[in-house]
């Protein structure tokens, strides 16, 4: 059996997340496995680097699969891109050693969360951004983000209360950037803020809960200094709201 590693892009808007489910065929993993099983004539299981939620997008999701095929990697990639729906694409596919595992071998990930800070909608960005009308204090959000950087127990920032696995993770960097102005028909717009998270791994809903908490800091509903108290409490109810899925994109997985 040969082992193949692929890098994927997908727009998650119309899918029920990455992980295949018995109740629906409308998942990224489900679509990939169905296509590869048809291509090889045998059941193929696809392992992803992690599960993205329903509505979350990816520019650099990594997955691998084992297959008994004589097709070249380039031929498999061409086959997949021909038959996959237009909102899923394979941008790289190579053969790798048999023991490579996209999730177990991952060393780090980067996510980006996009916010439109304006009462005016961005029609062409509506599927990829969360809209916040109230003015956001970028400096306050940066101070709060600095407290989250480093190795901490992020139990307060996950929705999974039943997991017995460690909730300790390391965030290498959180960038809170106000993006350069964009020229529009009615003039320049300077209302996009991007949160970029780089770490060794992230818990279920962790990035979206952190973003929701930072947005509450940005609207002065809470102070940056409260972040340390939230971390220490380990209680999900002390953190902020879960930010909508559509603003989140998995950018990169590192090995």
Q: Which position among 53, 78, 137, 153 bears the catalytic label?
A: 53
Angle, alpha carbons 229-232-238 (nearest 5°):
60
| DSSP per-residue codes, 196-219 | EEEES---TTHHHHHHHHHHHHHT
Of 225, 167, 232, 224, the C-alpha closest to 201 is 167
Tokens of residue 22, six digits: 């018995």
Instruction: With beta carbons less than 8 A apart as the criterion, state whether 157 and 178 touch.
Output: no
Query: E strands along 100-167, which residues?
Result: 108-116, 130-131, 150-153
Q: Which residues of 71-91 are buried (b: 16+ CB within 10 A; e: fewer)?
A: eebeebbebbeeebeeebebe
Q: Give yes or no: 53 in active site.
A: yes
Tokens of residue 40, six digits: 């090889």
Q: Return the active site residues.
A: 53
């Amino acid at each position: 059996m040969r082992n193949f590693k692929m890098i994927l892009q997908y727009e998650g808007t119309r899918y029920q997340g990455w992980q295949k489910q018995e109740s629906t065929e409308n998942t990224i993993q489900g679509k990939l496995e169905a296509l590869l099983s048809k291509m090889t004539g045998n059941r193929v299981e696809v392992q992803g680097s992690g599960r993205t939620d329903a509505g979350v997008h990816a520019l650099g999701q990594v997955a691998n699969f084992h297959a008994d095929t004589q097709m070249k990697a380039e031929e498999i990639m061409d086959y997949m891109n021909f038959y996959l729906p237009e909102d899923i694409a394979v941008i790289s596919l190579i053969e790798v050693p048999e023991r490579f595992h996209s999730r177990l071998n991952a060393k780090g990930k980067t996510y980006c969360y996009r916010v439109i800070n304006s009462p005016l909608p961005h029609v062409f960005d509506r599927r990829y951004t969360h809209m916040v009308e109230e003015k956001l204090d970028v400096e306050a959000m940066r101070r709060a983000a600095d407290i989250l950087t480093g190795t901490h127990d992020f139990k307060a920032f996950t929705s999974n209360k039943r997991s017995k696995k460690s909730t300790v993770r390391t965030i290498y960097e959180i960038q809170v950037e106000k993006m350069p102005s964009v020229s529009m028909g009615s003039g320049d717009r300077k209302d996009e803020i991007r949160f970029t998270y780089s770490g060794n791994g992230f818990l279920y809903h962790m990035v979206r809960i952190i973003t929701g908490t930072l947005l509450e800091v940005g609207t002065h509903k809470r102070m940056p200094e409260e972040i340390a108290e939230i971390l220490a409490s380990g209680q999900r109810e002390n953190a902020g709201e879960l930010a909508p899925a559509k603003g989140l994109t998995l950018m990169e997985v590192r090995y």
